[in-house]
Amino acid sequence: ALTAGIVGLPNVGKSTLFNAITKAGVEAANYPFATIDPNVGVVEVPDKRLKDITEIIEPKKEVPTTFEFTDIAGIVKGASKGEGLGNKFLANIRQVDAICHVVRCFEDGNITHVDGRVDPIADIETINLELIFADLETIDKRLAKTEKIARSTKDSEAVAEVAVLHKLKEHLEAGKLANSLEFTKEEEAIVRSLFLLTRKDMLYVANIGEDEISHPESNKFYQDVKALAEEQGAEVVPVCASLEEEIALLDDEEKREFLEGFGMEESGLDQLIQKAYTLLGLGTYFTAGEQEVRAWTFTKGMKAPEAAGVIHSDFERGFIRAETVSYEHLMEYGSMAAAKEAGHYRSEGKDYVVQDGDIMLFRFNV
Ligand code: GDP
């Protein structure tokens, strides 16, 4: 499964947010294979469509799909040079698919900031610089090898790789992230082989105080982070980590009331889950039977057999065809039978590209 890593400088509210994630975590009974790694928090992906489909189908059980966050401890200034936990965090970041960077936007005299002041832009630069340093080291190592080969053999692949490496190096040395560079398809293959940290999708989590979370726009630090994120083509989500920790323990009804009391429509954690999901190019399809209505995560662009493989590899191997109706059509006609009657229940083959919101029934040989 794809995962988003949570990073942040000390005292920004990272552990508080990660606690909220684990407390809000999935009901183990529904997901017997969910990870038990203490650094991984598995959450249910909120999706209003699942409830809507359940109301029509009336199954025995409703099962949301899940998303994983990984807690990445130990980034401090100088970490790439071995300060603090040092290089260990780099290996951990390398394994995640997107980076959620928590920054402190709340003021609280009782909680010290590592640099003595609240300054999320400086915090972002500090961490991004560590990531950039780490990537430069990766590139320099590769350059030393590849330049030698290019010089002695004039091998065209090696020559092309040297050019890509120089392009990356120049960009990173200017303090920019590799994810803001464009590459051709051939170049992209070289870039991918480097597993750069700053090439990953990035999302900033602005940790805002309880008194301001209903109107984050009035928080100057949040505005600064938002502007920087826009410049970088990154996303930003405002949350109040300490509130999320309380919300995580409530049931649906209590949660709704609690949020209302704070003037919020949706919890920050739910917004974070959705944004991370979208950032990674993920979508949801549903299966709907008498036993259960269930949401499944797939990567947008997947064809029907591969999407079926999310449920079980046998579904992919023995795939014959898929029967499908879109969520919108089911809602419009109010029942499977009526949607079918109107000609919206389709039979699709192995080249069908599954769409977000499709309700799927896979036919396969065992
Ligand atoms: P970490 O070092 O980044 O993991 O930070 P922690 O999660 O341990 O938080 C540092 C301190 O800030 C703790 O005392 C938290 O209770 C407090 N804190 C975290 N989030 C908030 C928040 O949204 N508002 C306020 N006022 N305090 C918070």
- Over residues 72-81, mean pLDDT: 73
Q: Is pLDDT of 233 > 90? A: no
The CATH number linked to 269 is 3.40.50.300
The CATH number linked to 184 is 1.10.150.300
Of 228, 245, 279, the residue at which a domain comes to its end is 279
Q: pLDDT grade, residue 91 (50/70/90)?
A: confident
CB 276 within 8 A of CB 98: yes
Number of domains in the chain: 3
Residue 300 has a pLDDT of: 97
Q: pLDDT grade, residue 85 (50/70/90)?
A: low
Q: Do 253 and 228 belong together in one domain?
A: yes
* Distance between Cα 96 and ligand 1 center (Å): 24
- Is residue 31 a part of any domain in this protein? yes
- Is residue 224 a part of any domain in this protein? yes
- Over residues 333-362, mean pLDDT: 96
Is 12 part of any known ligand binding site?
Answer: yes
Which numbered atom of ligand 1 lies nearest the CA of 12? 3
Give the model confidence (pLDDT) of 191-206 as tens digits. Answer: 999 999 999 999 999 9
Give the model confidence (pLDDT) of 4-63 as tens digits. Answer: 999 999 889 999 999 999 888 877 677 766 666 778 999 999 999 999 999 999 999 999
Round the average pLDDT of the chain to a whole number and report it.
92
* Distance between Cα 277 and ligand 1 center (Å): 25
- Over residues 139-148, mean pLDDT: 96
Residue 37 has a pLDDT of: 77
Is 255 part of any known ligand binding site?
Answer: no
- Is residue 285 a part of any domain in this protein? no
Reported as half-sphere exposure (CB side, CA atoms, 13 A), residue 185 has a value of 0
Of 173, 192, 211, the residue at which a domain comes to its end is 192
Q: Whose CA is nearest to atom 25 of ligand 1?
A: 209
Q: Do 211 and 341 belong together in one domain?
A: no
Nearest to 362, CA basis, from 301, 297, 317, 299:
317
* Distance between Cα 84 and ligand 1 center (Å): 20
This prediction has a pTM of: 0.88
To test ligand 1's pocket by mutation, which of 16, 240, 262 has the most ligand atoms within 8 angstroms of CB? 16
Q: Do 11 and 106 belong together in one domain?
A: yes
CB 105 within 8 A of CB 222: yes
The CATH number linked to 319 is 3.10.20.30
19 lines ligand 1 (CB under 6 A): no
Nearest to 8, CA basis, from 226, 217, 206, 174:
206
Q: What is the C-alpha to C-alpha distance for residues 134 and 51, in angstroms, rounded to an integer?
A: 45
Residue 30 has a pLDDT of: 73
CB 284 within 8 A of CB 101: no
Q: pLDDT grade, residue 357 (50/70/90)?
A: very high
Which numbered atom of ligand 1 lies nearest the CA of 240? 23
Q: Whose CA is nearest to atom 10 of ligand 1?
A: 11
Q: Is pLDDT of 364 > 70? A: yes
Q: Do 42 and 107 belong together in one domain?
A: yes
- Over residues 79-89, mean pLDDT: 67
* Distance between Cα 324 and ligand 1 center (Å): 46
223 lines ligand 1 (CB under 6 A): no
Residue 82 has a pLDDT of: 67
Residue 10 has a pLDDT of: 87
Going by C-beta distance under 8 Å and a sequence separation of 6 or more, which residues neighbour residue 181?
167, 168, 171
Give the model confidence (pLDDT) of 18-30 as tens digits. Answer: 999 988 887 767 7
Respond yes or no on whether ipTM tops 0.85: yes
8 lines ligand 1 (CB under 6 A): yes
- Is residue 294 a part of any domain in this protein? no
Is 13 part of any known ligand binding site?
Answer: yes
* Distance between Cα 249 and ligand 1 center (Å): 18
Q: Do 146 and 75 belong together in one domain?
A: no
Six-digit token string for 115? 């640099």
Residue 36 has a pLDDT of: 66
Q: Which domain holds residue 172?
A: 127-192
Q: Do 230 and 172 belong together in one domain?
A: no
Q: Do 167 and 232 belong together in one domain?
A: no
Q: Do 322 and 248 belong together in one domain?
A: no
* Distance between Cα 17 and ligand 1 center (Å): 8
- Over residues 145-157, mean pLDDT: 93
Is 96 part of any known ligand binding site?
Answer: no
Q: Do 66 and 136 belong together in one domain?
A: no
* Distance between Cα 352 and ligand 1 center (Å): 47
Q: Do 11 and 111 belong together in one domain?
A: yes
Residue 35 has a pLDDT of: 63
Q: Where does 267-355 show beta strands of DSSP type E?
A: 282-288, 292-299, 319-326, 346-348
Q: Do 255 and 107 belong together in one domain?
A: yes
Q: Do 205 and 188 belong together in one domain?
A: no
280 lines ligand 1 (CB under 6 A): no
Residue 165 has a pLDDT of: 98
Residue 34 has a pLDDT of: 65
Q: pLDDT grade, residue 366 (50/70/90)?
A: confident
216 lines ligand 1 (CB under 6 A): no
Q: pLDDT grade, residue 74 (50/70/90)?
A: low
Assign residue 263 a region: left if phi > 0, alpha if psi is -120 to 50, beta otherwise?
A: left
Residue 33 has a pLDDT of: 66
Give the model confidence (pLDDT) of 165-177 as tens digits. Answer: 999 999 999 999 9
Give the model confidence (pLDDT) of 254-282 as tens digits. Answer: 999 999 998 888 999 999 999 999 999 99
